[in-house]
Amino acid sequence: MVRDVFNEQQLSNLIGSLGIGHVRYPTAGSSSMSEAQPFYVNSPYGITFAHNGNLTNARELRDFLDKVAHRHINTDSDSELLLNILADNLQKTGKFRVNEEDIFTAIKDLYGQCKGGYACVAMIAGFGIIGFRDPHGIRPLILGRRLANTGGYDYMFASESVVLEALGFSKFEDVKPGEAIIITRDNVSRRRLVVEQYTAPCIFEYVYFARQDSIIDGISVYKARLAMGEALADKVHRVLGDNLDIDVVIPVPDTSRAAALQCSRKLNIVYREGFNKNRYVGRTFIMPGQQLRRKNVRRKLNAMALEFHGKNVLLVDDSIVRGTTSKEIVAMAREAGAKKVYFASCAPPIRYPNVYGIDMPTRQELVAYDRNEDQIAEEIGADKVIYEDLDDLVESVRKFNPSIEAFDTSVFDGKYITGDVDENYFNYIETERAGVHDPCTDNESIGLHNSFRK
């Protein structure tokens, strides 16, 4: 946790007017200390770099940097690859000092070289801060400003608006897909360098990752989750019929609460908190190994028999990935005395890996892979599993900003917007996970909260 690393004294000793930070574990490479971000290269110009996302052509980039650019890569992280691509592009100017035009050109060239989802911040020593976002806008990046004591403005990039709000920033706006923004002591320059046919923000930000009081790409996460709950209620009616035998709607804390509340309201069934969360246990999804994850679910949640005993319950969760946590939660509900346990997911079945910065398992590790809903229910021990339909999920988010024509929904439908993910790519990832280590895509854990939590 940041609070365990930086105390007030350490922060007060930091000097200068520029800085970048990063609090996310890697989704490519290992979780070793050597891969902690930001990364830094001294040549050229002293560039510090942090990144949220994942590159899909990391192997090719590593080969290029080694054989053509002759830049040495120290870690397995694709963030270091991005940094060195940017550094190589800047070095080609041959200048003693670069200007904004040189940086825009270097980033535009990077867009042509790097495929995947990425939101990046960089700092060039003595020059300024740079923020840029992948051409499809898959990963979020937001810019805010606040009035400074000097009478000018402070500027800050973050993954979510809530970070900016908490620090007194206002007038925040999303960095556009394919846009780069350069902030110096004297100026703010911005330019949209690449315009793709579709903007495709990751819909999983709204389902799970973003905090509910954030606004991303003009969409309130909280409103989107309320809408997901309403759509889920309609799906429950369609699956179970009008004579619902549900006594109580219970959320799986925390991200599903808003959806569960709205679902219960539309179903006209009482909402109750049935699980008490232990705030002193770390996040279970980043823990390696199924057995350890199962054990920590029990440590993290406690089922209150008062709300379960003798009742038919509808459990509402944001999604079902491996099914490990869901299986334990269903078992806990039954042990607490539930007669029937229906399990409703605000997201459709997850049948494909995420390759853009959400470290989800390979296909074989996903509980929905090659299973229908009855088989999934049997696997997790529920009487029935009810999934939100993909069209309903997309509409629940999109209606708050109709200008967004598409979202990245690849984990549900296998349609990867960058166009470079195919069966060979899946086979490569799955072979690597099976024990043939490749430094470009060594993904060990699942999920995350976004980077740049400064």
Q: Quote the distance between the C-alpha of residue 154 and its chain's center.
A: 26
To the nearest 10°, report the CA torsion of 12, 15, 19, 25: -50
Confidence of residue 443 (pLDDT cuts 50, 70, 90): very low
The predicted structure's pLDDT at residue 437: 40
Number of Cβ within 10 Å of residue 5's Cβ equals 8
Tell me the average pLDDT of the chain. 88
CATH 3.60.20.10 in the chain: give the residue spans: 2-200
Q: pLDDT of 133-165, one tens digit each?
A: 999 999 999 999 999 988 889 999 999 999 999
The predicted structure's pLDDT at residue 450: 35
- Report yes or no: 119 and 159 within 8 Å, Cβ to Cβ: yes
Q: Which amino acid is at 193?
A: L
Percent of the chain residues past pLDDT 90, beyond the cut? 71
Specify which of 20-24, 175-179, 362-366 reaches the highest per-range mean pLDDT: 175-179
Percent of the chain residues past pLDDT 70, beyond the cut? 89
Distance CA 136, CA 52 (A): 14
Q: pLDDT of 268-321, one tens digit each?
A: 999 999 999 887 765 544 444 555 555 677 788 899 999 999 999 999 999 999
Distance CA 407, CA 253 (A): 25
Helix (H) or strand (E) holding 129, with range, is strand 128-133
CATH 3.40.50.2020 in the chain: give the residue spans: 220-392
Distance CA 238, CA 423 (A): 35
Buried-exposed string 346-359: b where 16+ CB fall within 10 A, e elsewhere: bbbbbbbbbbbbbb
- Report yes or no: 235 and 264 within 8 Å, Cβ to Cβ: no
The predicted structure's pLDDT at residue 449: 31
The predicted structure's pLDDT at residue 283: 54
The predicted structure's pLDDT at residue 415: 94
**Greater pLDDT, 28 or 222:** 222
Strands 312-317 and 248-251: parallel
220-392 CATH: 3.40.50.2020
The predicted structure's pLDDT at residue 295: 63
Is residue 444 scored above 50 in pLDDT? no
The runs of H, that is alpha helices, within 97-246 are 100-113, 161-166, 204, 221-240
Class of domain 2-200: alpha beta
Phi/psi-derived region of residue 104, left when phi > 0, alpha when psi is between -120 and 50, beta in every other case: alpha
The predicted structure's pLDDT at residue 448: 28
Number of Cβ within 10 Å of residue 371's Cβ equals 17
Separation of first and last alpha carbons in the chain: 12
3 state DSSP class of 13: coil
For residue 342, the cross-strand partners are 314, 384
For the entire predicted model, the pTM comes to: 0.88
The predicted structure's pLDDT at residue 442: 32
